[in-house]
Amino acid sequence: MSERDLSQDAALWDPSAPADADVAEIESRLAPLRFDPTARPLALPSRAPAVPARRRLWTIALPLAAALILAVGGAALWRWSWPERRPWPMTVRAGAAPPRADRLEVGRQFLAGPDTQALVDVARIGTMTVAPGSDLTLRTTSSKRHRLVLARGTIDLRVWAPAGWVGFQTPAGEVIDLGCVFRLTVTDDGTTRVRVDSGWVQLENFGGEVLIPAGTSSEMRVDGAPLVPVYDASTPRFRDGVRAVERATRADPTAMPNLDFLADAAPRDVLTLLVLARSLPPAARTPMLSRASELFAPPPGVSIEAIVAGDMDKLWLWYDALDLPSPKAWLLNWRDALR
């Protein structure tokens, strides 16, 4: 290679070396296009502003909350749905197991022996314990409606579902679950007794209907309307006096019953007094409502005189003012969903 070629190549690697004339001419023409950082600084995108911690928290919490709502909603839909006529799972916990004792089928009578106790899944919404000697039949079952016949015996029911989904037909009338825990007993003569531990139960037959709240008991017979609810914590004298008044009033609606038991009434018993006052003659209604007003004053605009005169709307305004949970508030009894 000639010395001239070497000098030309040196200019390519060493800026201080003498450049070839042709190369120098090209550099001169391209000089206006040379990048000058002082004239045109390189524009870089600005750094994204920091996201506040609270906003970052919301971006995480909202999707999680939405996923939780969907999961809970899906679980609720699954829990409260049930294929029509599908048998209920059943386990015999004591005594001899009758044929097909692993399920309670629609239309098949279940006769528990004198030493047989069974645990039944009420679809997916609760459980039921069947006591020895009970005569039970599952009449129909589907989503939102489950109906049984209890001809005799005792069951303990625990259900968490909207009001009216579960009901029992007994010789004395119908027992409607309003989302609760209760014990139902039917004696050999058809007398139906209910004790409510949570929520409400409705008793209904040809003579009328009555709501039974938690902590109270009631009953109905084949020949009469359901009795008023009485708290289990009430004194025996008060409880017996209420039932005696009901029997006396049915025998003679115009007779003045013995009201000595009113001295044993406590504030909780105002519920019983108001419901009982509906069926009493005016002469007995006045002292009963007067005693109720001593224990729990009626709300403004409600007078004993108006109720005695027959304005039952005023009595129900008084009833609604009592410190009782709403029969429709079954969702608040979520603990009933736990076995």
pLDDT in tens, 225-271: 999 999 999 999 999 999 999 999 999 988 899 999 999 999 999 99
Q: How many residues does the chain have?
A: 339
pLDDT exceeds cutoff 60 at 282 = yes
| Contacts for 204 with CB less than 8 Å, ≥ 6 apart | 173, 174, 176, 226
Question: Tell me, what's the pLDDT at 326?
Answer: 87
pLDDT exceeds cutoff 90 at 301 = yes
Tell me which residue has tokens 């190369």. Answer: 23
Indicate if the alpha-carbon torsion angle 110, 131, 209, 85 is positive or negative: negative
Spatial contact of 235 and 242, defined as CB atoms under 8 Å apart: no
Question: Tell me, what's the pLDDT at 98?
Answer: 74
Question: How far from 216 is each of 53, 227, 288, CA to CA, in Å?
Answer: 53, 12, 20
Nearest to 256 by CA among 287, 217, 225: 287
pLDDT grade for 80, boundaries at 50, 70 and 90: confident
Question: Tell me, what's the pLDDT at 95?
Answer: 80
pLDDT exceeds cutoff 90 at 35 = no
Question: Tell me, what's the pLDDT at 139?
Answer: 97
Model pLDDT for residues 51-73, shown as the tens digit of each residue = 676 666 777 766 666 556 665 55
Question: Tell me, what's the pLDDT at 32?
Answer: 72
Most confident segment among 42-46, 147-151, 255-259: 147-151
Distance, C-alpha 238 to centroid of its chain: 33
d(CA 94, CA 130): 11
Question: How far from 225 is each of 21, 209, 246, 272, CA to CA, in Å?
Answer: 123, 7, 10, 15
Model pLDDT for residues 125-134, shown as the tens digit of each residue = 999 999 999 9
Q: Give all domains of the chain, ordered by start, each with its CATH number.
A: 3-29 (no CATH), 88-320 (2.60.120.1440)
Distance, C-alpha 323 to centroid of its chain: 19
Q: Hey, which bits of the chain come out as E strands?
A: 88-94, 103-104, 109-111, 117-122, 126-130, 135-142, 145-159, 166-170, 173-177, 181-186, 192-198, 200-205, 208-213, 216-220, 230-231
- 134 CB burial (10 A radius; 0-12, 13-18, 19+): buried
| Contacts for 19 with CB less than 8 Å, ≥ 6 apart | 11, 27
Question: Tell me, what's the pLDDT at 227?
Answer: 98
d(CA 169, CA 155): 13
Structure token digits, residue 125: 């919404």
pLDDT grade for 332, boundaries at 50, 70 and 90: confident
Of the chain, the percentage scoring pLDDT greater than 70 comes to 78
Question: Tell me, what's the pLDDT at 92?
Answer: 92
Nearest to 134 by CA among 169, 186, 205, 194: 186
pLDDT exceeds cutoff 90 at 294 = yes
Structure token digits, residue 272: 């019983």
pLDDT exceeds cutoff 60 at 140 = yes
Of the chain, the percentage scoring pLDDT greater than 90 comes to 66
Contacts of 231-236 with C-beta under 8 Å, sequence gap 24+, read: 231/268, 231/269, 231/271, 231/272, 232/195, 233/268, 234/264, 234/266, 234/268, 234/269, 234/272, 235/264
Tell me which residue has tokens 């004198």. Answer: 114
Mean pLDDT of 61-89: 73
Nearest to 122 by CA among 93, 160, 164, 66: 160
Spatial contact of 256 and 268, defined as CB atoms under 8 Å apart: no
d(CA 64, CA 73): 14
